Every structure is written in C-alpha cells, then in structure tokens.
Amino acid sequence: MLLIQEKLKNCPDLKQKNVFIEEKHEAWFFYIYQNIDNDLLQRDFISPIINMTYKQLSDIKTVKNIPNGSIKLVYTTDEAVKEIFSGSAVFVFELIQYAISCKIDKVEKRALEEPSTEKNIRGPHEGFLEVLEANIGILRRKIRSDALKFKTVTLGKITNQTVAIAYIEGIANKDLVEGLYDKISSIKLDGMPAIGFIEQSIITHPHSLFPQFLNTERPDRAVAALLEGRIVILMDGTPVVLIAPVTFISFFHTLDDYSNPWILGSFLRAVRILGGIFIAVFMPALYIAITSFHYYAIPLELLLNLAKSRVEVPLPPIFEILILEITVELIREAAIRLPTYIGTAVSVFAGLIIGQAAVEAGIVSNLVIVIVAATATASYVVPSTDMALSIRIIRFIFMLSASIFGIIGIVVCTTFTIGHIIALDSLGQPYFTPFSPFSLRGLKDSFVRLPLKKQKTRPPETKTGKKVRSE
Amino acid sequence: MDGGANAITSKQMALYTFVCQTGIGSIVLPTALAKEVGHDGWISVIATGVLSIAIAALLGMLLKKSSGKGILDINKEVYGKVIGTAFNILIFIYLLVTASAGAGIFVVFLRISFFRLTPQLIMSLIFMLPSFYMVWYGLKTTARFKIFTLFSYVVVLVYIILIYKDIRPTFLMPVGEAGIVPLLYSIKTSYFAYIGLELIAVFYAEITDNEKALRWHVFANFFSMLFFTIVTAVCTAVFGEKFLPVQSITLFNLFRIYNVDVLERIDLFIIAFWFFAISCSIRAYIMASWYSLNKICKKKKSTFIYMIFIALLIVISRIPGDINESYLLLDIVNYSGMGITVLFIISLFISAVKTKGGKRYEKG
Amino acid sequence: MKKVKILSLCFLCFVHLLISGCWDQKIFEEIGLALVLGLEHTENGEILYTMTMPVFAEDIEETMEILSTTSDLLRQSRDQIRNTSGKRVEGGKIQHIVFSKELAEKGIDKTLDVFVRSSENPFLANIIVVDGSPFEMLKMSKDYKDKPRLGVYMANIIRHARANAATPESRIYNFTILQYSETIDPVASYISFDDTGITIEGSALFNGNKMAGNIDFEKTGLLHALMGEKIQFGYYIKAKDIEESVSSDKRGVSILLYRAKRKIEASCADGTAPEIHISLDLTGIIDEIDLDYRLDEPDDKKNLEEKITMLLRRDFMNLLKYLQEIGSDPVGFGEIIRAKHNEYFKSVSWKTVYPKVKFDIDVKINIEFYGALY
C-alpha cells in the first residue's frame, strides 16, 4: 500500500478513495480521475465491492462475479501501478493477496471525420481515431469475420503504448506476419509520438528517399489492404496506420479507381501517374537541360517567344527555376501551419508575386512560371503524402543533374532512381513489382485498372497462400 | 556470394544476354559491315546469327550437363585448383577489359554526340555511377533493370517504322553482290556483335530454373539476330553502301533524319533512350567481372575491394588515347571473346565427359 | 574535421559548377541562333558566308541581325562572325542553307561536310538554290514589311510549296545520301527574290553535286510523279493545247493529280543503250474547267481523259529529254539498273550512257471527281 502511494506521489490526477470493508478493514480504490467513467466506477465497481465481505473478497470466484466486463487480478505492485495508468481502477485491500483491477476507461475521442489529406469522391468519409480500441472496433465492424486477427504488443519504456498488427488469417502470409511481429517487438524506444517512429525503426533501407510503408488514415484503405493479404500496423495515440508490404505503384492508387467503372478508373490512374511522376519530375529538368545544353531541340515557333521572354532575365535557367521552386516549397510549408483565413490571403499574395511581378521585374521568364505552376499542381496529384514528398526531393536532384550534364544527366538520374527502386524492398518483398520482377498477374492492377472480373487473383507481393480471391 | 542477391530466372538471363549483345553492337555494326561487303551486311548478320545460335545451343547443352555449376567452378574441377584459378583469373581479366573497353567507347559516343569539352574522367565517373550502384547490389538488381530497356528497343523499332519513306529497297539490291568469300570473311566482323553469349556460362549457377536456360538462351540469340538484321538492313537501305563506310556512329545518324512537325529534331530524345540500352550492355560486363572477382577471392563483398575494382575499370578505360585506339581495344577484346568462348566450350566438354565417365564408372 | 573539409570542398566545387556553367553548357539566351545561311563565291574564289540571326532585345529596333564574312572554310567563317556578333553564334538551329546559282554549279558537297560531321548541326536543314546572290536576298528581306522573320517566312513558303509538289523535299541528309550514292542525283529547291518577297520557282537539278539545270514548279510536280512520290500537284492545260479548233475565249482546264502509281522496267542489252519503259497511273480531280466538254457524258469524259493523257505524255517525254540533256537523274534510273541489271551497270559508265537511254512512257489518267458542277 505504502509502496503504491510512494510511486504515485506528485500525480494530482490520481484519486485515492478510502473505504472500509465490513466497516472495519481499510481498503483503497486508486484511479486516474479523468480517464475513468465515473458512473460505471461508482455503480459497477465501488458499489458491489463495498457490499462484499472479507470472505467474499478472498474468494476468487465471487470476485470474478462482480458485474463488470473486465475484472483482472494483479499480484505485484508494479502490475498494479501499470493497471492504474492504463485506465483501470484498482482496489487494494491488504488482507487479500491480490488487488482487483477493473478497466472502465472513458477516453476523450473525436467523432469519425474524413481525414483532410485523403479525400475522395465516391467512398466512405470516415477516418481512424487516436484510440487503438476504437480503431480495432472500426476494422471489426467492417470485416465481420473471425479470420481478422490482431497481435498486440506494448512498446515504449515510458509511454507503454499498445501496438497492434492486424491481418486476415489464411490470406496473409504467416512468415511475413511473424517476421513483422518480431521486428516490432524488438523496438526499444522511450515512446512513440507518431507512427513514423515505428516505421523508421523497422525499415530495411533507412536512407532511401522512397517510403516503404503506406500511411493511411482511412479505414476503407486498410480494409482493402487486409483483403489483399497485406498487414496493417495500428498504434495507440495516432489515427495513422501503416500498411505493409506495399509496392511503388500502390502509392498512386486510391479508392476512387475502384469505385468507378474500370475505364474511368484507369483514366484517373493514368492521369495520376503521368502527372505525378512524369510531369512533376521531368518537366523542370527537361526545361533546364534544353535551355542550357540543347538549344536546338526547341521548336522554331516556341524559340522566338522563349527568346523574347528570356532576354530580360540575367540568371541562368537553373537559378531561375530554383528560385521559383524554393519559393513554392516555402509557401507549401507555410500553408500547412497557417490558419485558413490567413492561408487564402497568403496564397493569393504569393500567386501575384510569383506571377506578374517576378516576370516584370525580370527575375524569371514566362515559360518558367507555367512550368513551375504545372509541376506544383502535378505534384499534388499523388495521393500519398510520403510519396509526394519523395517526388519533390527527387525533382531537385533531377534539376541539378540536368543543369550540369543536360539530358544525359536526366538519363543518368533516371537510371539511378530506377536502380534504387529495384533494389528496395518493403518487408522483404521487391518494391517495384509488378514491373520488375515482371508479373503479369500484378500488372492488371498497376497503372491501369482492369475490370473486376479480370482481377480474380491477389497481388503477388503479399505472398499470400490463397492466390484466388473469394474462393 | 549469397544466392539471394544473385538469383535470376532463365528469362532474365536471356534478356541480359540480348541487351548485352545489342546495346553497343548495333551502333557501329552497319558501318563495319559496309566496309567489307557493301550492301549485303544483313546477309552476313543472318549467317553469323545462325552460327551464334548454334554456339549458344552448344554452350547451353554442355552447361546442362554440368549439374548446375558455373564455368568458374568447373574450371577448378577440370584443371585442378592452381591451373583452374589461373584460367579464372584470365576470365576475370577478359571481363574487366571488356567492361573497360565498353565504358571507353561509351564515353567516346557521348563526346561525339553531346559533350565535346567535358573531361573524360568526370564523364566516366558520373555516367557509370548507376552501374556501380546496381552492380554492388548484385546480379538480381542488374538483371531486373534490363526490362526497362525493352522500352528503348520499342522506341527504336517505332522510329524505324516512322522513317519508312526514306528507306530505299533498291539500295539493298542486288542481293549477294558481294560474293560468297567476302561474306564468309565478314562473319568474323559481325561475330563481334554477338559477343555476350558466353556470359551465361559465368552466371549459370545463379539461374534458378536452369532446365529452361538453354531454350531461353537460344531465343535471346535469335532475337539479337533479328534486331541486328533489322538495324543493318534499315541503315543500308537509308544511307546506301557508299555513305555508310564514312560514318562513325551510324545508328545515331539514323536518328537525325526524321522531321517531326513541331519539334523538328527528335534525335536528342531517341539517343537519350538508347543510352539506357548502352549502359545496360556495359553493366552486364561489369557485373560479370565483379562476380568472377568475388568467386575467385571467395570473400564476402567488401567496399574497399569494390573501390579498387572501380578505379581499375576507369583507369583501363582511359588507356586508349583517341577514337581509333578505342576501336582497336574493342577489336582486341572481341578476338579474346572468341578465344574465351572456345575455352569455355573445351572446359565444359571435358567436364561433361568426366561426369559421364564418372557416372559410367559408378554404374559399372 | 577532415570529413568536414572534404565535404565543404566538394560542395564548393559543386556550386562552382552550377554558377559558372559546365564545359559544354550553351545557355540559350547567350547564343546567337543562325536561322538562314547564305553561301556564294566572291570574285577571288573565297566563299561569302552570310547569316541571319533574330534579335530579341526590346531596346533594339531591328528584329534581324545579318552578318557576313569571307573565308575558305565554314567553321572559320563562323568563328570570324563570332568576333563581330555580341552573341556566341551557333549553327544548331539553321533552317535553310541558301546557295547562289554559281556556287551550286561549281559543286556543293564540300560545304556540307560540317553539317554532317557535327551532331549538333541539323541534318534536316533545307537546301535551297537562289537565282542571284544570297547576300542581297538576306539584306533585302530585312525590308519586307508584311512578312514575318526570314527564317520563319522561308520555312512557311517551302512547307506549303512542298505540300503541293511545287518544290522537292531536299534536306541535307537526303542530299548527302544521294550524292554519295552516285546513281541518283539530288535535287534542291529553286527560288528567286525581289523587293516584295521570295518566290518559289521550282527545282534545281543536279548532276552529281553540281547544279546542271532547273525546272519550274509545274514540271516539278511531274518530276515527283516520275519519282514515284505519293504527292498531289496541279496540272494546267490551256484550251488551245487541247483542241486547236476551240473558241478563243475558252481558257482551259486545271486538274489536281494525285495517287501516282509508277512502274519502271528496264531492258538492257550489252553494247546498246538501255530501254526504259515507265508506266504511270494517275488519278485526278478537275478543279476548274472552261472547255466544250460535258463531263456527265461518259464519251466526252473519256475523250477529255485521252486528250489529257496525250498532253501528259508529251510533257513527261519533254521533261525526260531535258533531264537527259543536262545529265541529271533524279528519278533514279541508274539505281534501278544497278539493282536489277547489275552486270550491265558494271560494264558501262552510267553518266555516258544516260543521255542515250530510250524512254517510253505509258500514262493512264482517271478523273475521279469534278466537284459540284458538270
């Protein structure tokens, strides 16, 4: 008793209720006031226990009959303290060998809202919450099957957060699940404020620019991944979940591709890949390569207009584009942190500056503004923010190498990037499937989306035991 | 080396061979043949193609009997440890010099096309960087990349269809004007393009499904023959037998002749695409030489040795002083390639006989 | 500490590369883009090299800069011009190379060497022969008030003329290829100029690499049909050529000919000149007619077709005769004989045999439509 009180010094949110069993023996209830449902505490825990006799309390069977969903018996002080901080009320009575713990937590959680970074048109508008149990509940509600299993582990020496690995038994590959579970269990950190901490601890290529796990806040995405045989990692304290194993092309898929008919879905996907990869990465680099090295590749009609607009500009093309790109990046970062009412004003202001004034001041030329604007728009087309960030960084590398070696610099960078992507793996599975290693099965759902009738098999990277869906 | 980083399928090996043969060979082959047999270069290519398919089939069959081992292990078995290692070192030197010669000629092409003044050392270092990166990761990564070069081939074939108006079939006639004897002599020249078919012997141990290796290897040589024939025939039909012998980079000149409506010249982009194929071709040999070095040293791969390997490669590639010397080095390499192929066949034959003899002894 | 030093050194080198430019960098606005190149002989045998470059600065009134210099070698001329022009002159975007007639008659293969050799230079520049001095033409073009910049203007008129087969497609690459082949003679566009503008006259015909003659744009259309090119061209017949007895106020007929199917057969016997038989199938559309024929009557139409066929045959034979006279073989008869009758070709010298070749041409014309009127 004294030990517990010693440990719980300087915790003003902790309540110690002093009671007397059979009106003579002293006992204590410990609980964190904010995290407990006080109604249930008083009605279903304190009330029955106060009315029990010492004999009844010593009898485990009677104790277990207390009308509450989760009654647990703890035998050590440390366990008891742990229970108190995990949202349980603990009843400590020195005359019995155990303490009785009861989980009646009531956590403040927000309503189910659509995540602001992952919107869609035709699907559900729900998002995960910060509470792990609620998230598990959401998944359970969507997959009403006993095959949906969760393996939990408590991580964080100080924070004691629960991390759950969700998978569908029979579909997900057992070795992958076991391997992932072992990796996660061996994480030794004080605490994890965001799921990125788990991601960075278990990643096989920490220095790569490309994300190897897919982040999402949408339950429908997690459900789709589970049905394909992928594994979902959930963590207490964050609505973002990780999906593994993923491929490069998964970062360009959204639910809208599947909820629309296949031609429209394929069109949307093609627009996304064309815009997100080719325009966002290659356009500024090509502009720099052509105006710095290969002037003869410019069409004649464009040549005269381009020359007219460039003649005022004192800087070489690489610096022109770098100035604008860095400005756009600054605006992007600022826009995340600004409140909405200032945000709109700033974007108008920035547009004015970058647009008209910069050209008239002679800092940049017209064509560069068009290119940078198109590139910025194209880079927003990528559904995954991690991949969008990677593409932004790669674009700078391409621009720099184009300014030094022209189009061959772009070719070398492309080769390097593709070589790097091929060498990557996500949870041991090759990252650039279905392109390399080539898999015709996986190609049906890559940069096009073939009709649902043709998509009878699951993707190859999940190494699932059940290749054919709905058998 | 652990099997994981180097395991490839027979289809990947076939693609590897195909790109290795056609990447650099198709650029200067039409000119080399036009100098010897005028407009009948394509006949020489087909004849040599048939010969190379035969050699490839022979290699494949002998390898099949070798119980899944690569030539480096077989050499040690057949000739004993000392002589076998000496032969392996010879093979390594051949592969290294081939890779360097390829790298050197790559830099020469770049200098002619785009970079007249950039220092050669910087060009070698920077443009080979992706190759060094991928080779470090192993044969699997290197082989997987090849599938993207198929796109370069598609682009070139589409381009050839686009220039149909400039193709004059009469430039290819009369067929066979060169005569049988010059054509037979020219097989030696066109065989240079098919060098690369011996790499399967080096990597045979890494092929996971080596029952199919023979079939796919023969297919690879067949497609190489097809591609070389198309390129040679088209170059001859467009340029004529008198203009071909004076060109140094025939294929790139072919890319310069098409006029698109708005862009006018598209040779820049098509050459950029073809550079993928060239770099893959060179990378094939760099991978082979690095692999053989590791097999000889038997150590786990170390960064220090890799750096020395890269330095050696670049130093050897800088030995030729001008373009003629680069071509001379390429000729030396090609003759050595023929010799090495013969050596492979002999070693495999002896190994096959020994195994068969051994089996007979066991049965008896 | 050492690592930091090495890293900062690398960083400085990198920034230096970015700022000062790389070895082969050619920043676009620092380049003087030569669009049209004019070449002619001077009195003392050197080549007068004239170049136009567009000017884009807003504070300069002129839109075109014309520079010229004399030397023996093209590269030398370009380097000399670089000493005068404020920009680094580059030839990668040259649209047209204009030769004076005199220079063309002396031979133009040597001047094209620099274009084939350097991969930066275009293989696609148009080869044009001008009746007069290119220097005068370029200088005069500055004063064309109602025309766009010269490079663009010439590109436009040549493109439209080519679409109507008024002038041949002759770019550096096919000129060079044909020159080397020695069995087909190249052709080039032929233009003239005055103070109002530039006119496409037709084609310049070459014997080897020397200009031998020229034909007008109507005959260029016929030449294209002989070469087997699938191109459309207009054929114009005066009324008095069709019928001698037709009334004097009838004007004639204008036909659009297209879909030329050509077949050439040669028969060669040792010791004699070859006989070449050409059969041409043409399809035509009547664009304009002012004659006494009723096109809805099958007999009348057939009659007209026969008359047109006769006139076409006459014009083709005249053209072939002219080609033989000047010793120019753009159609490629030499190539066909080399390909199909190789032994004979090797036994004679084609240039001496060509003027003696007996041509026979069989023309068939089918008038498909005649528009909304009979």
Which pLDDT tens digit goes with each residue over A145-160? 888 999 999 888 888 8
Three-class DSSP category at A76: coil
Residue C13 lies in a domain: no
Query: At A287, which helix (H) or strand (E)?
Result: helix A283-292
Q: What percent of chain B has pLDDT over 90?
A: 38
- In this prediction, residues B285-293 reach a mean pLDDT of 92
Q: CA of A118, closest CA in chain B: separation in Å?
A: 32
pLDDT band at A355 (very low <50, low <70, confident <90, very high): confident
Nearest by Cα to C331 from C323, C342, C339 = C323
Which pLDDT tens digit goes with each residue over C314-338? 999 999 999 999 999 999 999 999 9
- In this prediction, residues A300-320 reach a mean pLDDT of 82
pLDDT computed for residue B222 by the predictor? 95
Q: CA of A414, closest CA in chain C: separation in Å?
A: 20
Asked if the Cβ–Cβ distance from A307 to C28 is below 8 Å, we say yes
List CB contacts (< 8 A) between A315 and chain C: none
> Which subunits count as partners of chain B given 3+ CB pairs below 8 Å?
A, C
Query: At B202, which helix (H) or strand (E)?
Result: helix B199-203
Residues C297 and C216 occupy one common structural domain: no
Question: What secondary structure does DSSP assign to B32-79, as a single string?
Answer: HHHHHHGGGHHHHHHHHHHHHHHHHHHHHHHHHTTTT--HHHHHHHHH
Distance of CA C225 to the CA centre of its chain: 15
Residues C76 and C197 occupy one common structural domain: yes
pLDDT computed for residue B230 by the predictor? 95
pLDDT computed for residue C260 by the predictor? 84
**Considering chain B, what is the average pLDDT of its residues?**
88
User: Least CA distance to A406: which residue of chain C?
Assistant: C25
Q: Which of B121-130, C305-314, C365-374 has the lowest average pLDDT?
A: C365-374
Query: At C23, which helix (H) or strand (E)?
Result: none
Q: A337: which strand partners?
A: none
Residues C223 and C238 occupy one common structural domain: no
**Considering chain A, what is the average pLDDT of its residues?**
85
Residue C15 lies in a domain: no
Q: CA of B117, closest CA in chain A: separation in Å?
A: 12
Neighbours of A338 (CB within 10 A): 15
- Across the A:B interface, residue pairs with CB atoms under 8 Å apart total 72
Higher pLDDT, A360 or B18: B18
Residues C242 and C172 occupy one common structural domain: no
Q: For C115-151, give one letter per residue: b (16+ CB within 10 A) or e.
A: bbeebbbbbbbbbbbbebbbbebbebbeebeebebbb
What the block records as the tokens of A6 is 């010693």
Residue B364: pLDDT over 60? no
Residue A320: pLDDT over 90? no
Higher pLDDT, C159 or C22: C159
Which pLDDT tens digit goes with each residue over C140-192? 888 888 888 788 888 889 989 988 888 898 999 989 999 888 899 999 999 99
Contact by Cβ (8 Å): C291, C253: yes
Nearest by Cα to B103 from B71, B72, B129 = B129
Query: At B321, which helix (H) or strand (E)?
Result: none
Higher pLDDT, C161 or B3: C161
Nearest to B170 among C122, C176, C339 (CB): C339
pLDDT band at C246 (very low <50, low <70, confident <90, very high): low
User: Least CA distance to A416: which residue of chain B?
Assistant: B130
pLDDT band at C80 (very low <50, low <70, confident <90, very high): confident
pLDDT computed for residue B54 by the predictor? 94
Which pLDDT tens digit goes with each residue over C92-141? 888 899 999 999 998 887 788 888 888 788 888 999 999 999 999 988 88
Which pLDDT tens digit goes with each residue over B54-91? 999 998 888 888 777 888 888 888 888 888 899 999 99
Nearest to A316 among C21, C90, C149 (CB): C21
Higher pLDDT, A71 or C16: A71
Backbone angles phi, psi at B138, to 5 degrees: 115, 175
pLDDT computed for residue C91 by the predictor? 82
Nearest by Cα to B296 from B140, B16, B90 = B90
Q: Which of A228-232, A271-275, A280-284, A350-354 has the lowest average pLDDT?
A: A350-354
Asked if the Cβ–Cβ distance from C92 to A296 is below 8 Å, we say yes
Residues C257 and C221 occupy one common structural domain: no
* Domain B3-354 CATH class label: mainly alpha
Q: What HEC string does C272-341 produce?
A: CCCEEEEEEEEEEEEEEEECCCCCCCHHHHHHHHHHHHHHHHHHHHHHHHHHHHHCCCCCCHHHHHHHHC
- In this prediction, residues B342-364 reach a mean pLDDT of 75
Residues B138, B144, B145, B149, CA torsion sign: positive
pLDDT computed for residue B2 by the predictor? 40
Contact by Cβ (8 Å): B320, B328: yes
Asked if the Cβ–Cβ distance from A293 to C21 is below 8 Å, we say no
Residue C10 lies in a domain: no
What the block records as the tokens of A95 is 């005359």
Residues C206 and C338 occupy one common structural domain: no
Residue C180 lies in a domain: yes
Asked if the Cβ–Cβ distance from A307 to C57 is below 8 Å, we say no
Quote ipTM for the complex.
Answer: 0.90
Number of domains making up chain C: 2
Residues C217 and C256 occupy one common structural domain: no
Q: What percent of chain C has pLDDT over 70?
A: 95
Last residue of a domain, one of C227, C259, C291: C227
Domain ranges of chain B: 3-354
List CB contacts (< 8 A) between B117 and chain C: 23-24
pLDDT computed for residue B284 by the predictor? 93
Residues C88 and C171 occupy one common structural domain: yes
Residue A133: pLDDT over 90? no
Three-class DSSP category at C248: coil
Residues C85 and C170 occupy one common structural domain: yes
What the block records as the tokens of C267 is 């028969």
Nearest to C25 among A293, A300, A306 (CB): A293
User: Which range of residues forms the domain containing residue C107?
Assistant: 29-227
pLDDT computed for residue B208 by the predictor? 86
Measure the CA–CA gap between C121 and B360, rounded to whole angstroms.
69
Question: What secondary structure does DSSP assign to C152-176, as a single string?
Answer: HHHHHHHHHHHHTTSS---BHHHHH
- Interface membership of B61 toward C (CB under 8 Å): no
Residue A5: pLDDT over 80? no
Residues C173 and C293 occupy one common structural domain: no
Higher pLDDT, B358 or A68: A68
Residue B274: pLDDT over 90? yes
Asked if the Cβ–Cβ distance from C338 to B238 is below 8 Å, we say no
Asked if the Cβ–Cβ distance from A438 to B129 is below 8 Å, we say no
Query: At A244, which helix (H) or strand (E)?
Result: strand A241-244
List CB contacts (< 8 A) between C57 and chain A: 311
Asked if the Cβ–Cβ distance from A432 to B134 is below 8 Å, we say no
Which pLDDT tens digit goes with each residue over B44-55? 999 999 999 999
Measure the CA–CA gap between A245 and C228, rounded to whole angstroms.
61
